[in-house]
A = this chain, B = another copy of it.
Amino acid sequence: MPYFDAASAAPLHPVARQALLAALDEGWADPARLYREGRQARLLLDAAREAAAEAVGCRADELVFTPSGTRAIHSAVSGAAAGRRRAGRRVVVSAVEHSAVLHAAEAVAGEGTVQVGVDRTGRVDPARFAAALTSGAGSGTRAGSGTGAGAGGGTALAALQSANHEVGTLQPVAEVADACRAAGVPLLVDAAQSLAWGPVEGAWSLLAASAHKWGGPPGVGLLAVRKGTRYAPQEPADERESGRSPGFQNLPAIVAAAASLRAVRAQAEAEAARLSALVDRIRARVPRLVPDVEVVGHDRLRLPHLVTFSCLYVDGEALLTGLDRAGFSVSSGSSCTSSTLTPSHVLKAMGVLSEGNVRVSLPAGTAEADVDRFLDALPGVVAEVRAHLDAPTTVGGKGVGPVEAGGDSGGDSGPGALPADEGLVVDSLGKRCPIPVIELARVIGDVPVGGLVTVLSDDEAARLDIPAWCEMRAQEYVGERPAERGTAYLVRRRG
């Protein structure tokens, strides 16, 4: 049964399993103790640190093990920000960072968090990121906050992922690291998604990663702090791991994590080429096999094993359930698959469709035949969900291809610029994604070319999906304004 959610967690690598079993026997004791079991544990810990540091590209004494990638990020953000408190309180991040980075930044900087926007492929512009380091000018994606100018002087820390976890887009880390160095700001790189494939290039200051993303066991994160980086741990004092990660080390898992990182790296080049070809196949075929699909993320500057697309008029949860029933395990950034009923902040920052979203991330060793079986099964599953929702059909089954990189989404038109006329009003209040978009699609043909449709919706996903639908269907998105209940979204028929 093919599992295509490696970006969440990969099954344990055989090398990790073997190393874990050996270390459970030889490395259960406290490495701080002087007796033989302790000394043996210490040797295993030191060897694992050496191996992990080599894979990261840092010195062993710059690297500590944490209980998870999330905890590595939390420690990195709080420790680096505290070490730079005199410089200022602002933290500059990309708008598409993992929620662990965003929440950690929020915790230390609050209003002083500056989110730098991305283009439609999910990539930050290094020049724009560099500008935010000094001016605090963030993105349009976080309206009204994060201007940073009044948030306590300078920038304490910047954070940029090496590759996006939801759409696979690689970030220009080396260029941003140079800009950070020039500005005297340390850069934290969240390398969770890319470390299996290779070290992160460039003059970063801090790096965080997570073992269960590369086939290591859960319970192990990496935190590297390069020499010369100001760092003041914020957890209560603890002598383990250079005072940077409190608590008894999870040694068997650490040994397994280091061994599997070395093992996946040995195969990385060949496996990256093989999986990248399979991803290219998915990127090319899905829009041909399924109508009204948007493949998102960068088509070249991307992780080898990850591809994401969204399907118009599809309920993400129903799609996942259908794929699961067909034997495929995938993830989704659709609002209906999240506990908060909001669409993925990554898709939102990119300004792309969120409904019917599917992320496919192939574990190492994925068979070509399984990918083909997925491509065979997908059209039927999507059609079934659409039929169930009584979704509009596209004549001729013509979908839209991958969207080219463009500028940021969203216009600047405030409510004042909107026409007073509402045209045809669709009341979608109380209805969840993808219903508001389906109801819009159903009526657009009922107004004359140049005429308006207003969709009333209180579903958070509509804010993203109605403009995205307009982009896909070549209709004009006019703007939004508050309504008596929910929000009014205005669309003008183009053709």
User: B-contacting residues of A (Cβ < 8 Å)?
Assistant: 1, 3, 5, 8-12, 17, 20-21, 24-25, 28-30, 33-38, 67-71, 74, 77, 99-100, 103-104, 106-107, 210, 212, 217-219, 221, 235-239, 246-253, 317, 320-321, 323-324, 328-331, 337, 339
Contacts and interface: CB of A to CB of B under 8 A. Distances in A.
B24 A100 contact: no
Contacts of A331: 33
Contact of A107 (B25, B221, B236, B324): B236
Contacts of A29: 3, 5, 8-9, 11, 329
Contacts of A328: 35
A21 B324 CA distance: 25
Q: How many copies does the complex hold?
A: 2
A350 B291 CA distance: 76
24 contacts: A5-B29, A5-B35, A8-B29, A8-B33, A9-B248, A12-B24, A20-B24, A28-B217, A29-B329, A34-B321, A34-B337, A35-B330, A67-B68, A67-B219, A69-B247, A70-B248, A74-B235, A103-B237, A107-B237, A218-B248, A218-B249, A218-B252, A219-B253, A253-B253
Given A9-B30, A24-B12, A67-B67, A37 B3 contact: yes
Contact of A248 (B28, B36, B210): B210
A210 to B, nearest CB: 7
Given A34-B320, A35-B330, A317-B34, A69 B24 contact: no
A68 B100 contact: no
Give the 8 A-B residue pairs with the shortest CB-CB distance, closest first: A67-B67, A68-B247, A219-B250, A70-B247, A35-B329, A103-B236, A219-B219, A107-B236
Contacts of A11: 28-29
B218 A100 contact: no
A217 B33 CA distance: 18
A217 B24 contact: yes
B248 A250 contact: no
A298 to B, nearest CB: 25
Contacts of A71: 67, 246-247
A235 B321 CA distance: 33
B33 A246 contact: no
B28 A12 contact: yes
Contact of A100 (B8, B25, B210, B246): B246
A106 B217 CA distance: 33
Contacts of A106: 236-237
